[in-house]
């Protein structure tokens, strides 16, 4: 059981979750700044104004990464810090660009490989107000292409690019349930706008086209000289049939992955949406124009995989409601025979199941022709961690076991199953703003004391990471 000697391991974060400094140096507001101001949307009325104060602590964060032995660091850029109003005819904020360019220089000097995500859910708010943001099929992809070009030109030293983080979340949580910014949903008790039967599919399509445009720009204008790679990061859970003897549950277990992952991956690898989605959604799923298909198909140099958990999947009968996003099925933590998927965590949707991780790596590898996979997020919250003392939080043995089990399962997928996994980035480097859950849910391998100046204290899971990877990686 071993990973290659050049395996990239490290930690991941996202701009809005850690940076703070939301009004510093010319940054404009994002849809999350606006969403946080709506009463009742974020636990305890929290916001990202200060977060972990990482915008002002890049040196401290790099020193932490170096201390932990991290080979790479995945982080995202704040679009509205770079182009405050967001659009292709709007001014570029040089201070924002310079900040990220310097950060990349400093990471490289410390021997840490940067992986940059262009979009981690924080659209410039002006674009949402101007033309509906991600819902606009014409304007949004063009503005994203422009933003990507500005960044590629400014930071040629970065060789690893991710266009979108989890477009499923931007689409479904932003435009179906309304749980994430900008909060669209058909539920009028939660939002005055939104159509949960259609908007998520439109947004997903537009994200794919925008991704394709950015990849085309990188490949044609920058890759020949910069020699980097570019891909997209998709999220999805492992699945098991609730009743393995029932063919309908076996089929539903695959369909769950198709509705979560293949929704985006199939157009990229095959040029079309999955048959299961076409069958259920009909004309609610947008149709690719020839130009869009040409942009999207083949637009991945690697597969970015975000993964946390697994479910037992039980099929449903009858016609699914028009706002169904799962594929006419239900996800359960217990199987028909009473087996539990894993231990409870602080996150209602997350229970550790390392074998589900290995299975999903294999499922994706077989379906998409064994691409290079980078696990760009993986990690766990801990039940009631926020109620513990600092000393107790630092002894996060539950998280230590999660990473140990998951990394070993991944190593088996590589060494025994022949999958090509090239990197693993733990979510997250530090406790941070956990979106709608505010600061009460902690995913960090480093404890952040929000009450005492955002000080950082590595937990046991952070300290053990280097030891774990030294054990499972081949020696040079």
Residue 305: predicted pLDDT: 99
Q: Is 251 a catalytic residue?
A: no
* Of 377, 385, 434, 437, catalytic: 377
Report the chain's mean pLDDT, rounded to a whole number.
98
Assess contact for 52 and 448: CB atoms under 8 A: yes
Helices (H) and strands (E) in the chain, counts: 19, 13
> CA-to-CA distance for 362 and 365, rounded, in angstroms?
5
Residues in contact with 101: Cβ distance below 8 Å, sequence separation at least 6, in sequence order: 154, 155
Which domains are delineated in the chain? 8-472 (3.20.20.80)
Q: How confident is the model at residue 456 (pLDDT cuts 50, 70, 90)?
A: very high
Whole-angstrom distance between the N-terminal and C-terminal Cα of the chain? 16
218 pLDDT more than 90: yes
432 pLDDT more than 90: yes
Mean pLDDT on 165-170: 98
Q: What is the pLDDT of residues 234-276, one digit of tens each?
A: 999 999 999 999 999 999 999 999 999 999 999 999 999 999 9
> CA-to-CA distance for 13 and 19, rounded, in angstroms?
10
To 5 degrees, how large is the angle CA 197–CA 198–CA 201? 125
445 pLDDT more than 90: yes
377 phi and psi, to 5 degrees?
A: -155, 140
Residues in contact with 82: Cβ distance below 8 Å, sequence separation at least 6, in sequence order: 92, 93, 96, 97, 100, 147, 150, 151
**How many other β-carbons are positioned within 10 Å of the β-carbon of residue 455?**
14
Residue 1: predicted pLDDT: 72
Percentage above 90 pLDDT, the chain = 99
The two tokens of residue 143 are 């503005």
DSSP character for 245?
T
Q: How confident is the model at residue 11 (pLDDT cuts 50, 70, 90)?
A: very high
Q: What is the pLDDT of residues 307-346, one digit of tens each?
A: 999 999 999 999 999 999 999 999 999 999 999 999 999 9
Report the relative pairing of strands 373-377 and 455-458 from DSSP bridges. unpaired
Assess contact for 237 and 310: CB atoms under 8 A: yes
What is the Rg, in whole angstroms, of the alpha carbon atoms belonging to the chain?
21
* Residue given tokens 């990188």 in the structure block: 218
Report how far Cα 280 is from the mean position of its chain's Cα atoms: 26
Percentage above 70 pLDDT, the chain = 100
* Of 126, 145, 166, 199, catalytic: 166
> CA-to-CA distance for 310 and 446, rounded, in angstroms?
25
Mean pLDDT on 297-312: 98
Q: What is the pLDDT of residues 371-397, one digit of tens each?
A: 999 999 999 999 999 999 999 999 999
Q: Is 377 a catalytic residue?
A: yes
Mean pLDDT on 189-206: 98
Residue 476: predicted pLDDT: 78
């Amino acid at each position: 059981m071993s990973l290659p000697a050049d395996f990239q391991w490290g930690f991941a974060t996202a701009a809005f979750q850690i940076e703070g400094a939301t009004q510093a140096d010319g940054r404009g507001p994002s849809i999350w700044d606006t969403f946080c101001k709506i009463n009742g949307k974020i636990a305890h009325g929290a916001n990202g104004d200060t977060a972990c104060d990482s915008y002002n602590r890049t040196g401290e964060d790099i020193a932490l990464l170096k201390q932990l032995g991290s080979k790479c660091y995945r982080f995202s850029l704040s679009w509205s810090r770079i182009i405050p109003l967001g659009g292709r005819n709007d001014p570029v904020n040089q201070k924002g660009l310079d900040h990220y360019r310097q950060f990349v220089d400093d990471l490289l000097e410390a021997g840490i490989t940067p992986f940059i995500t262009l979009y981690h859910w924080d659209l410039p708010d002006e674009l949402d107000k101007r033309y509906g943001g991600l819902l606009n099929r014409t304007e949004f992809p063009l503005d994203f292409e422009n933003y990507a070009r500005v960044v590629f030109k400014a930071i040629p030293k970065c060789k690893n690019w991710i266009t979108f983080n989890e477009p499923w979340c931007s689409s479904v949580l932003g435009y179906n349930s309304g749980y994430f910014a900008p909060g669209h949903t058909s539920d009028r008790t939660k939002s005055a706008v939104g159509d949960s039967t259609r908007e998520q599919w439109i947004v997903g399509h537009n994200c794919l086209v925008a991704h394709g445009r950015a990849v085309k720009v990188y490949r044609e204008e920058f890759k020949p000289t910069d020699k980097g790679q570019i891909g997209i990061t998709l999220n999805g859970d492992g699945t098991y049939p609730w009743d393995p003897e029932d063919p309908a549950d076996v089929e539903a277990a695959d369909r769950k992955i198709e509705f979560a992952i293949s929704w985006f991956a199939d157009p990229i690898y095959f040029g079309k949406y999955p048959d299961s989605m076409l069958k259920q959604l009909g004309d609610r799923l947008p149709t690719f124009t020839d130009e869009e298909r040409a942009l999207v198909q083949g637009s991945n140099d690697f597969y970015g995989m975000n993964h946390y958990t697994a479910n037992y999947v039980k099929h449903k009968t009858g016609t699914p409601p028009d706002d169904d996003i799962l594929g006419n099925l239900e996800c359960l933590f217990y199987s028909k025979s009473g087996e539990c998927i894993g231990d409870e965590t602080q996150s209602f949707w997350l229970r550790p199941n390392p074998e589900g991780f290995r299975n999903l790596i294999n499922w994706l590898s077989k379906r998409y022709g064994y691409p290079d996979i980078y696990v760009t997020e993986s990690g766990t919250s801990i039940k009631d961690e926020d109620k513990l003392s600092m000393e107790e939080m630092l002894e996060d043995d539950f998280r230590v076991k999660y990473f140990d089990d998951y990394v070993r399962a991944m190593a088996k997928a590589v060494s025994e199953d022949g999958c090509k996994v090239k990197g693993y980035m733990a979510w997250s480097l530090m406790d941070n703003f956990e979106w709608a859950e505010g600061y009460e849910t902690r995913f960090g391998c480093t404890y952040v004391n929000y009450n005492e100046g955002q000080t950082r204290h590595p937990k046991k899971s952070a300290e053990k990471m280097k030891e774990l990877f030294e054990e499972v990686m081949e020696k040079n």
